[in-house]
Structures are given as structure tokens and as C-alpha cells.
Chains A and B, each alone.
Chain A
Amino acid sequence: MNAEPTDAGRRDFLGKAAIVGATVVAPGIVLHAVAEAAPRSEAVSSKVRWGMLIDTTKCADGCRACVDACDQENGLNLQTRPEGEDAKKWDEQRAVWIRKVKVRDNLTGRVTGLPVMCQHCEHPPCVDVCPTGASFRRADGIVMVDRHICIGCRYCMMACPYKARSFIHEAVEDKLTLAPRGKGCVESCTLCVHRLDNGRTTTACQDACTKDGHAAIVFGDLKDPNSPVSKALAQVQSNQIRPELKLDTGVRYHGL
């Protein structure tokens, strides 16, 4: 029958196509399997709530180890002042995830130093106001920005009672893979989420503070009574910044 040569050709084609297809798809499957094998294949759970206690009595005057460590960890030290930009204005525009603040009590004159960053609220105002849902709170308590759907409206920055967020004002030349950032989006402290998702249990600021011998920052799972942070919180008095807003912050302060 004259149909046979055609069939043979088709068989041949299908065979080749299968080989080509397998060659193309296989690495994807293998890579996918590798990715799946990592511990983060498990969904984030609300059984954990990450948080920290900052002991202001141990926070050293003039020390900015936590700030430098954060900049290093998240690639914020790679920010460069755009050509022609005024130095002072650039200072007001560059992204800051954690800053040192020094306050004096109006009545007693007592001075306290402390680092301030995103407080990872249980009821974050930034999440409430975000029109697209880019500002979100993970089940484990970390408040973050989904940089894929952030439209750069800055309403979260208006709403945050801690001024914890920064807008990226300039084109980003260099960035780290673990903390991708881009012009026109809003960002803030992630509690070093890339570390936690890969099984580590400390933040960069905490490590730096401990390394410098101050150990003013204790980090961990607020829901685990045996975690270092829960134990520390059980022992010392602690406060939230602006507790009257009832946001139930994940970051607490001692001696404030």
C-alpha cells in the first residue's frame, strides 16, 4: 500500500522528536527535583512566628554593626548614588532597612539607643492598605513585599507607623540573588527570610551584634516556649514601639 512509506517517515519523525524532547525537558525535571529536595519545599507554617527581642541596655552607643551587617547581607551596600545626585538628597532616598535611633526621655532625660526596622506586626497596616496585595504577611509572621506585583504606589510607606519601608529611587545595577531589588518597588527588612527558608535560624543583624560582644538581639520562634527569644521574653520586661496601635509587633524591646 502506498500509505506505508508515509507511516515509516512518521515513525522516524516521532522517534527523533521524542529524543529531542527528552533532551530539552530532562534537565528541567532534574533541576526541578533538586529544587524540590530543599527543605523549603514545605509550606511556611503558622506554627512558627519569627520575632526578636532587642535589649536596649546592651545596645552600644556608636555601634552600627547590625546596620552594616544588614547592608552587607541584603546587598544594600551595593547601592550607588546616581551620577549628578546631591549627596544629602541621596541620603534621604537610599534604601534603609534598619537604622540606629537614639531617644531622650522628655521628663527624665534618660537616653536610650536602639535599632529600628520592620516590626513584623501581627496586624500590619502596610498589608491592609496595599492595593494589589504585594505587601503581605507570611504565615510565620514575616511581613514582606512581593516584588512581582508591587506597583510602587508607596501607600504602605504612608501607612507604616515605624517608617520601616524604603522606595527604590534609582536603577539598580548590582544586587544579590538572595535579595533581588529593582527600581520603582518598595522594600523592607525580611528578617533574613532567605536564611530561615534554608534552615538557618539567625539573622544577620543578630549575628553581627553577638559577634561584637553585645548580644543585644535575640531572635527566634515566639511560639516555641523553649526558643531563646521566648525564654528571654519570659525573663525580662519588654515593650513594643507604639503599643497603643495594638499591632502586636514581632519585634520587642527591653529597656525602652
Chain B
Amino acid sequence: MKKTQFSEWGISSPRYWGLLAFLAAVAGVGGLAALYMEHNGHWLTGMTNQVVWGTPHVFAVFLIVAASGALNVASIGSVFGKKIYKPLAPLSGLLAVTLLIGGLMVLVLDLGRPDRLIVAMTYYNFKSIFAWNIILYTGFMAIVLVYLFTMMERKMNAYAKAVGTFAFVWRLVLTTGTGSIFGFLVAREAYNSALLAPMFIVMSFAFGTAIYILVLMYAFRADNRSLGDIVLFRLKNLLGVFIAGMWYFTLVYHLTNLYITENHDFVAFVLRDGGIYTAAFWLGHIIVGVVIPLGIIYHPVLGQSRRWIAGACAAVILGGLANMYLIIIGGQAFPMTLFPGKTIIESGFYDGVNGLPAAYSPSIPEFLLGLGGVAVALLLTTVGIRMLRFLPASLADEVADPHGGKTAAAH
């Protein structure tokens, strides 16, 4: 197989700077929103003592989960030896780092005391999965940077597989950790399930791959590089499998809860009675996030169209955000059972009087902060591919070896 040529993103200067300026503006607005909320306090947000994590967490957790998933493409190349994925690996590593930075930024800026970040770095309670995640996230960034170095520096290529394998294992642990932030909350019906950890892993596969495909398509199109059907359709089919996997975990999660009598109210809340949260489930997660993209990907005609494939990826992202909204905010809005067998009829602190869910309406600054995180991730990616050789010069069918796997096996 020919050595893959990589080159910097070569779009025209005005277009590049224009894109940077736009992303910087969105990131800047997000920064101002954070400053505004921090200066005045969280009373400006829709968050309350009943719904303590709001829209910023939806974006932050989505980005963090997607970050670990974005590394898949590289893992398939390095760890599982699929040669066709190898030219795709550097961008995969870059996205993993930038999405993580964007997500963590949102998470940190939504703290009550972001000025105490140093405290979070120096005081550790090792029983806390949150504390573990701080180490997992920073470690992930460091490992992926080393991984990128082994891939991009020819002298270090020999180590790429070993480091890539380590990064792959680390990312599985990382997403297990992110899922466990919720899974370990024994008190709340929506969480309290070991299933959340593998469910988050499959979600990360889907979100990360969808973002990867979109960024790859845009970067190649803008720079007039050729992206052949072989690579694109492989990625697309991979996404299809991940979406189906995500749907499977959702199914098992709700079937389990349907079997557990004490969780019936919660299932009814998600599937039938939850208003906006029921809509987030059916319209967002199931229709937009699963049915539409699967329908496109496996459709004989639509599945061959680049526009439709891009649409499927966008649908996965939107459906994923809706699902995160349901998991994070719906999970808190659902009234926690304080007194089994009894109904709370009055309370000085809400407590789901007569089964009423807690109210939450997202505020604009929260939303802007979340968007700012997305912009930061894309901004860093843009600068990355412009400055360094992350993108293969061509992924045309004749360049991308269709029999990569077989060739590798023959060696």
C-alpha cells in the first residue's frame, strides 16, 4: 500500500480567518454568558434547588461523551488493524481532544465557584467518581496527544499500536466513569443503574462517529479533497451499527424498569406523562436520533447521497442532545420517591407535591455557554488541521485501499 500523504488544510486565507472569526465570536459570547452568570450568580439561570444541573451540563456531558467516541475511528485503525481507517486516525485523535476541551470548559464554567478550579485539582476524595473523572479526563488528553505524536512522527510510528491500545482502554474507562456519574446516584429512579455506563459508551460511539463524519465531509469539501464512497460508506455503516446499539440499550433500560414495580412511575413519566421529557424521548431520541438516521443510512437510495448522510449525522447529534436533556434534566425533574407508598400533599420545598415534576426552563445564557463549548471545540479543530498535517491529501477510492483488512492480514 502506498504511504498516505497528509497535508495542512488549504482553504483560502479569508475563508479560514472568516471561519475562525465566526467560531471565536460564538465562543466569546459563550464566555460572556459564563461571566454574566458567575458574576451575578446562578439565580439568572433556569436552575433551582430542585433541578440543580441544567443546560450547560447537557452540552458538557454530550461533548465529553462524544469526545471519547470520536477516538473510535483511530482505535479501529490502530487497535484492530483495519488499514482503511489509518489515514482517518489523526483527525479522530484531534477531535477527541478538542471536543473534550470544549465539554470540560462548559462544565467548569458552570461550577458555583469556577475560581476554585485549583481546589478541584489539589483536593481529592477518591471515593468520588467525579474526582476520578478529573484524572480520567486529563489523562485522556495527555494519552491522546502522545498517541497523535506516535501517529504523526514517522520515527514513533512503531509505538502507535501500543499507545493506541492504551488510549482505547482508557477511553472505555473514561466513558464508564461519565456514565457512572449518573449510575452511582442510588437515590434517584432515573439513574441508579449500572446499565448507564455501557449505555454511555454506545452513545459515545454514535455521537463521536457522527461528529467525525460531519467534520471530515466539511473539511474535505471545503478544501476540494476527494472523499471516496468506500471510506464514507464504511463510516456511515459503522454509524448505523452504533445507532442500533444505542437503541438496544435504551430498550433494555426501559424493559428493566418496566419489570421493577417501583420504577413504573418513572417509565410512565418518560414514555407517556412527562410532557416535554416524553417529547424529548419519542421525538428527539427515538425519531430524530434513531429512526431517521437509521432509515437514511440503510435506505438504498438516500444512503448513497452525501447530503442525506450528512443529514443523518446531524440527526444523530440533535437526537443525542435531546436524549441528554431527557437523562440529565428529566431525571431530576421526575419527583424522587421520598416516602414509598405515600403521596406528598404539601411541602415547603416542592418535593413533587401530588407527583408534580420539578419545573425547569433553560435560560439564554445557559444555552449560549453550551454553544460556546461547541464553538471552542470546532475552533481548536480548525486551527489544528490548518497548522498541522491532520488530513490525508486524498481519500479517493483508488487511494483508500478497499482491501485494507485483507492486506494487513497477509503481511
A interface residue numbers (CB < 8 A to B):
64, 67, 82, 85, 89-90, 92-96, 99-107, 111-112, 116, 125, 127-134, 149-155, 157-163, 165-171, 183-186, 241-242, 244-245, 256
Contact = CB atoms under 8 A, between A and B. Distances in A.
B332 to A, nearest CB: 7
B348 A158 contact: no
A102 B341 contact: no
B244 interface: no
Given A130-B128, A149-B123, A151-B120, A96 B52 contact: no
B49 interface: yes
Contact of A184 (B48, B112, B185): B112
Interface of B: 38, 40-43, 46-50, 52-53, 111-114, 116-117, 119-120, 123-125, 127-131, 134, 181, 184-188, 332, 336, 338-351, 358-359
Contacts of B113: 150-152, 184-185
B348 A67 contact: yes
Contact of A154 (B38, B52, B120, B345): B52
Given A85-B43, A101-B351, A163-B50, 4 more contacts: A67-B348, A92-B350, A125-B185, A168-B112
Given A103-B345, A149-B119, A157 B52 contact: yes
Nearest to A92: B48
B49 A95 contact: yes
B339 A151 contact: no
B337 to A, nearest CB: 8
Given A101-B348, A151-B112, A129 B49 contact: no
Contact of A125 (B186, B336, B350, B351): B186
Nearest to B123: A132
A255 to B, nearest CB: 13
A199 B167 CA distance: 56
A256 B46 CA distance: 34
Contact of B48 (A93, A99, A151): A93
Contacts of B345: 102-104, 111
Contacts of A94: 49
Which 5 pairs across A and B sit closest by C-beta, in order of nearness?
Answer: A152-B112, A184-B112, A161-B187, A99-B348, A92-B48
Contacts, number: 185
A241 B340 CA distance: 9
B132 to A, nearest CB: 9
7 contacts: A92-B48, A92-B50, A100-B348, A131-B125, A131-B130, A167-B42, A169-B41
B341 A133 contact: no
Contacts of A102: 344-347
Dominant SS at the A interface? loop
Contact of A159 (B38, B41, B111, B185): B185
A171 B123 CA distance: 25
Contacts of A170: 40-43
A209 to B, nearest CB: 15
Given A99-B349, A102-B344, A169-B42, A132 B112 contact: no
Contact of B43 (A90, A127, A134, A161): A90
Given A149-B119, A151-B113, A129 B52 contact: no
B338 A163 contact: yes
Contacts of B181: 155
Nearest to A157: B52
A79 to B, nearest CB: 11
A100 B345 CA distance: 11
A64 B349 CA distance: 13
Given A93-B43, A99-B348, A169-B42, A125 B187 contact: yes
B49 A162 contact: no
A131 B187 contact: no
A162 B351 CA distance: 9
Contact of B49 (A101, A150, A167): A167
A157 to B, nearest CB: 5
A95 B358 CA distance: 16
A96 B119 contact: no
B40 to A, nearest CB: 7
A106 B344 CA distance: 10
B112 A185 contact: yes
A107 B348 contact: no
Contact of A129 (B111, B184, B338): B184
A131 B343 CA distance: 34
Given A125-B186, A151-B116, A152-B111, A163 B344 contact: no
B352 to A, nearest CB: 10
A101 B43 contact: no
A161 B128 CA distance: 17
Given A90-B43, A151-B119, A96 B48 contact: no
B116 A149 contact: yes
B355 to A, nearest CB: 11
Given A163-B349, A241-B338, A242-B338, A89 B187 contact: no
B342 A162 contact: no
Given A149-B119, A169-B43, A159 B339 contact: no
B125 A105 contact: no
Nearest to A242: B338
Nearest to B262: A244
B123 A160 contact: no
Contacts of B38: 184
Nearest to B360: A92
Nearest to B118: A151
A160 B351 CA distance: 13
A159 B347 CA distance: 20
A155 B130 contact: yes
Contacts of A165: 49
A196 to B, nearest CB: 25
A171 B112 CA distance: 11
A90 B41 CA distance: 12
Contact of A103 (B117, B186, B339, B358): B339
Contacts of B130: 129-131, 153, 155
